[in-house]
Structure 1
Amino acid sequence: MKLNKQMITGVGGGLLALAVIVLVSAAGAKKKEAAKHENEGRMAFNNTPRPVRYETVAASPLHGRRAYPGIVKASEETALSFRVGGPLTEVNVKLGKTVKKGELLMQIDPRDFEDRIASLEAQLSGAEAVQANADQDYKRIAGLFEEKVVPQSDYDKGKSGLDSADAAVENIKVQLQIARHALKDTSLFAPYDGTVTEQLVENHEMINPGETVLRYHNIQQLEIVVNIPENEIIATPIKSKSKVSVSFPSIRSRSFEARLTEWSTQADALTRTYVAIFEMEAPEGVTVLPGMTATVEPAQADDVASVLTVPVSALVSDTRKGNAVWIYDAEQGKAQLRPVVIGALNGESRVVVVEGLVEGDQVVVTGSRLIHEQLSLETAANR
């Protein structure tokens, strides 16, 4: 009897499991059916024609003036040093002092260099005496050699002695010239009209060759260094001697004219900006010093007075190509995604398109984020 009870229990459990499987299968089928209807509904929604607005691309004026922050630099900046070493004996400079070209700034003790010159001059006198004696010997032996009184070896010896004496004289003359240059280098002169900005040594210090002792610059001509973003370089006139307006926060209600002198054609790898350097004369009546900030406003050039622009709302993001816009095809009633390169804002709601569009293109300006290339469009308006 016990065995039968177990058998009956086993049969009942199998039926229960079968019922559960049937219920699960039915639930799965219902979910699949619901998912199918949801996908069909989504596809139908996605393929429903969308009303959009588009506008025809045309050139328009470039609005607004661009202004770039800049830093003032001296047109000439020099770190001065001696070519020779020795104790400093004279300092004729003061910070901020304006000096003229050729004015003595510092002096190294010249005594050792003067002694070196005196020694070489004495050596030169001895070498020239030896040279004169060797020349007389050579002339005498050469005469005897022509008369075939002395052998070839005596002639060669006399010629060699004269050549050696000549070389010794030339060597001392070269050393003497170097020593005189070194003596001249004990004096440090102003290379141009300028101003002393920094004194790095004091009088009576021992100076090493090549050690920077002064910093010096010319602030009669100033440079304004500006970094122009890459997306705005297209609308900024880059021509030699182009004129710009420069203003300074510390000098209100005044602006000054500067000219473009240098510019880079390679963008900085980190900031993606191009360096432009403008030069101007130091303004009269006010003090402008290196390190001050300035604002540069380029003039609008005739050849960039008009640009192609689109509303900011027309831009969409293309993960493969960056910025893009939808181009409306009136014949097919569909749109095609086209990558574009954008520049700066033009006004409050439009952006300059540097590359990717031509006049006459029809750009979707509203509803662009809800369409795809296979979607049919209904144009609500042509702006």
Structure 2
Amino acid sequence: MPKLFGFNVGGLLAIFSAATILTGCSGGSGEETPPPPEVTVSTPEIRLINDWDEYTGQFDAVEGVEVRARVSGYLRDSHFREGALVRRGQLLFTIDPRPFEAAVARSQADLQATLTRRDLAIADLGRAEFLLEEEAISKEEYDSRVQARQESIASVAAAQANLRQAQLDLEFTRVTSPISGRVGSREVTRGNLVSGSGAQATLLTTVFSLDPIEFIFTADEAAYLKYRRQAREGSRPSSREIANPVMLRLQDEADFVHSGEMSFVDNAIDTQTGTVEGRAIFANPDGIFIPGMFGRLRLLGSGEYNAVLVPDTAILADQSDKVVLIVDDQNIVQQRVVELGPVLEDGMRVIRSGLTRDDRLVTGGLMRARPGNPVTIAGEEPPPEETAKRSAETAELAAAQ
């Protein structure tokens, strides 16, 4: 290998090649910085809505009756199917009427006897008046006959009252339903002796009305004060004065599909629980609601107002705070703490505070957005109401074609 200025030319070439390779490998400082991540943004929706407050409660019958015996005797028969619907006045039980029929006959006989004595006393008084004018009897005897007539009239009145009582007792041997509704089970079977003595009267069955039916729930003191202040301001009428609308769902239902209205608000707060009772009334033509059933009620909680709405999926949790990510004019991500309201049926969440209608909210690419870092706006979603409008227009165009 020839030498150049005393150096081996092959060695110089090898050293030059290695230096070139090393220089190429160490050229990282010349690489370009990756672009900011892409996100999708949209502005909050402004919609005119009402707030709805939710409560858990139970159904209760508007009318409920414990059917008890009103006279004592042996139960002869029952005339209904347990659990069936019954009409007002429908015969439910029969108590042996024979002792009461005998009592009616005896009272009728007593009345007839007193009527006869009354007629005789009236006739005797008429004769006494004639004799007194002729001075054939004394004034004392005349007064005695006047008294006898008054006593006979009183005896007739007493006998008539006894007859009415006997007839009433005979009527009570036919136990009828005082209301229309669904009857319960038989508490006493035929052949048993039942008692009709006041508070100790024998319970025979129960009947509960079903249509309409009431839903009973309780609200805390804070909710009561909110409603009272809204009524005073005129933004929401009081349920004591106006039958505010309510919606309800049962345990196996996802949506509030049953509509009703408020019917009662109690006049005092329970000192034991700190709550006030409210009632709503619902039509129940098919009998799906029964007393004791639980449900979830939604009550009108405010007047109409313009609310700021965002997709519920765009809300993040930061420890105890609820936050959203927005993009400022420099495309820098910022974190905002927001106060949440209820979730609407279309998945939109009400924002009480923390956002304005002009903020650009990150709705897509949330995992790539970091507060304080820049982002690239991949697209801006139109407000939900604009999307719905475009979908409707597209559907109309397709139908026309």
TM-score category (smaller protein): 0.5 to 0.7
**Shift of residue 86, structure 1, vs aligned partner:** 0.9
- The aligned counterpart of 1:80 is 67
Match of 1:198 among 174, 185, 189: 185
- Cα distance in structure 2, aligned partners of 1:122 and 1:305: 82
Match of 1:219 among 206, 210, 213: 210
Structure 2 counterpart of 1:190, which letter? Answer: S
- The aligned counterpart of 1:22 is none
How has the CA–CA distance of structure 1 residues 149 and 304 changed in structure 2, closer, same or farther, with 3 Å as cutoff? farther
Equivalent residues in 2 for 1:170-189, closer than 5 Å:
170-189=157-176
2:51·2:303 contact (CA, 8 Å) conserved in 1? no
**Shift of residue 208, structure 1, vs aligned partner:** 0.8
Equivalent residues in 2 for 1:27-42, closer than 5 Å:
none
2:179·2:207 contact (CA, 8 Å) conserved in 1? no
**Aligned: 1:255 with 2:261:** no
Match of 2:153 among 157, 160, 166: 166
**Shift of residue 63, structure 1, vs aligned partner:** 9.1
Match of 2:141 among 147, 154, 164: 154
How has the CA–CA distance of structure 1 residues 296 and 305 changed in structure 2, closer, same or farther, with 3 Å as cutoff? farther
How has the CA–CA distance of structure 1 residues 304 and 71 changed in structure 2, closer, same or farther, with 3 Å as cutoff? farther
Structure 2 counterpart of 1:292, which letter? Answer: M
- The aligned counterpart of 1:289 is 290
- Cα distance in structure 2, aligned partners of 1:264 and 1:65: 20
How has the CA–CA distance of structure 1 residues 282 and 163 changed in structure 2, closer, same or farther, with 3 Å as cutoff? same
Partner secondary structure for residue 222 of structure 2:
coil
**Shift of residue 346, structure 1, vs aligned partner:** 5.8
- Cα distance in structure 1, aligned partners of 2:301 and 2:151: 74
Structure 2 counterpart of 1:111, which letter? Answer: R
How has the CA–CA distance of structure 1 residues 126 and 347 changed in structure 2, closer, same or farther, with 3 Å as cutoff? closer
Partner secondary structure for residue 278 of structure 1:
strand
- Cα distance in structure 1, aligned partners of 2:305 and 2:102: 69
Equivalent residues in 2 for 1:47-196, closer than 5 Å:
65-196=52-183
Match of 1:234 among 199, 203, 225: 225
- The aligned counterpart of 1:315 is none
2:67·2:204 contact (CA, 8 Å) conserved in 1? yes
Larger CA deviation: 232-241 vs 214-223:
232-241
- The aligned counterpart of 1:52 is none
Say what the alpha-carbon RMSD is for the aligned residues: 2.7
- Cα distance in structure 2, aligned partners of 1:151 and 1:162: 17
Report percent identity of matched pairs. 20
1:95·1:198 contact (CA, 8 Å) conserved in 2? yes
Structure 2 counterpart of 1:234, which letter? Answer: L
Count residues with an aligned counterpart. 253
TM-score (norm 2): 0.58
Partner secondary structure for residue 275 of structure 1:
strand
Partner secondary structure for residue 219 of structure 1:
coil
- Cα distance in structure 2, aligned partners of 1:218 and 1:262: 18
- Cα distance in structure 2, aligned partners of 1:254 and 1:171: 62
**Shift of residue 97, structure 1, vs aligned partner:** 0.6
- Cα distance in structure 2, aligned partners of 1:260 and 1:283: 18
2:85·2:181 contact (CA, 8 Å) conserved in 1? yes
1:63·1:347 contact (CA, 8 Å) conserved in 2? no
- Cα distance in structure 1, aligned partners of 2:193 and 2:172: 15
**Shift of residue 211, structure 1, vs aligned partner:** 2.4
2:180·2:209 contact (CA, 8 Å) conserved in 1? yes
Structure 2 counterpart of 1:261, which letter? Answer: S
Give structure 2 stretches of 5+ with no counterpart: 1-47, 228-235, 308-338, 343-350, 354-401
Cα shift readout 1:322-374 (whole Å, capped 9, x = no counterpart): xxxxxxxxxxxxxxxxxxxxxxx8649x999xxxxxxxxxxxxxxxxxxxxxx
**Shift of residue 288, structure 1, vs aligned partner:** 2.2
**Shift of residue 172, structure 1, vs aligned partner:** 0.8
- Cα distance in structure 2, aligned partners of 1:121 and 1:261: 50
Cα shift readout 1:242-287 (whole Å, capped 9, x = no counterpart): 1111111123445111111111131111221111000001164x72
1:62·1:346 contact (CA, 8 Å) conserved in 2? no
1:198·1:216 contact (CA, 8 Å) conserved in 2? no
Give structure 1 stretches of 5+ with no counterpart: 1-60, 307-344, 353-383
Larger CA deviation: 157-166 vs 168-177:
157-166
- The aligned counterpart of 2:41 is none
**Shift of residue 77, structure 1, vs aligned partner:** 1.1
**Shift of residue 241, structure 1, vs aligned partner:** 1.0
- The aligned counterpart of 1:273 is 275
2:51·2:302 contact (CA, 8 Å) conserved in 1? no
How has the CA–CA distance of structure 1 residues 103 and 305 changed in structure 2, closer, same or farther, with 3 Å as cutoff? farther
